[in-house]
Each structure stands twice: as structure tokens, then as C-alpha cells.
């Protein structure tokens, strides 16, 4: 992947401040970011924006984040990297997320270093 290639990411979280903050950090790192605050907005954003990755909060107001992930996986297959973001921890939460087709599970508060390890480096 060339350094000039646009790497698009969609953030899905009902907390606007969290989306805006993380979006700023990722944009500073050189990534293109859009965010959605509902599952419906997320489906539209992924369809229109065609990101390489979606970070999905598991606690959304209109649809469970696992169900959203199932729908995204069904529609876009393995080409879309799905990363669950959750305030809950534990093996049961991790296993539930993985069963939904999620590739990685991150707990809140997010470790930016860990998150960045999932994306191609910008340079």
C-alpha cells in the first residue's frame, strides 16, 4: 500500500465526543475518518465511504453492535476489518463479539497504541 493511498476508517459510537476525539487522533495519524452514531448511519457510511475498517461500539441505541457487525460481515465479507469497542471486559464478552464476525475486540478506554497496530502505517 503506497503512503498516498487513502486509508478510510468508520467509527461507530453513540458518544459524539468519543467519536470526534478519536477521529482527530486518527486524522492526525494520516487516516481518513468518518463517524456514525447509530447502526443505520453506520450501514450508510460503510456503503458510501468503503472503509478498510469499522470500529463498532457494542452498545448502540438502535441496534446491538454485534448485530450490526453480523450485517456488515454478511454484506462486505472479510475485506472489511471489524473491531469491536466495548466498555465491558471478560472472556464472555470477547467470545460473543468474535461469534458475530468481529476480527478484534478492544476494551474502553482505548489504547491508541494497540488500536494503531491494526492499521497500515502512514508515512
Whether this model's pTM surpasses 0.85: yes
From 80, 99, 83, select the one nearest 91 (Cα to Cα): 99
Domains along the chain? 8-60+76-110 (3.40.50.2300)
Measured on CA atoms in the order 9, 47, 86, 70, is the torsion positive or negative? negative
For 80-108, write each residue's pLDDT tens digit.
Answer: 999 998 887 777 778 888 888 999 999 88
SS3 state at 11: strand
Interval 28-54: pLDDT, tens: 999 999 999 999 999 999 999 999 999
Q: Which residues pair with 8 in a beta bridge?
A: 32
Look up residue 64 and give its three cell numbers.
Answer: 446491538
CA triple 116-109-3, angle to 5 deg: 15
Amino acid at each position: 500500500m503506497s503512503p498516498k493511498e487513502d486509508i478510510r476508517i468508520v467509527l461507530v459510537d453513540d458518544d459524539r465526543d468519543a467519536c470526534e476525539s478519536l477521529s482527530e487522533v486518527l486524522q492526525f495519524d494520516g487516516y481518513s475518518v468518518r463517524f456514525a452514531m447509530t447502526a443505520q448511519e453506520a450501514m450508510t457510511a460503510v456503503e458510501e465511504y468503503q472503509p478498510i475498517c469499522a470500529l463498532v461500539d457494542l452498545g448502540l441505541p438502535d441496534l446491538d453492535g454485534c448485530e450490526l457487525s453480523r450485517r456488515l460481515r454478511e454484506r462486505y465479507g472479510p475485506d472489511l476489518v471489524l473491531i469491536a469497542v466495548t466498555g465491558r471486559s471478560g472472556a464472555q464478552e470477547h467470545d460473543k463479539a468474535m461469534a458475530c464476525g468481529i476480527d478484534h475486540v478492544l476494551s474502553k478506554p482505548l489504547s491508541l497504541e494497540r488500536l494503531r497496530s491494526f492499521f497500515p502505517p502512514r508515512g
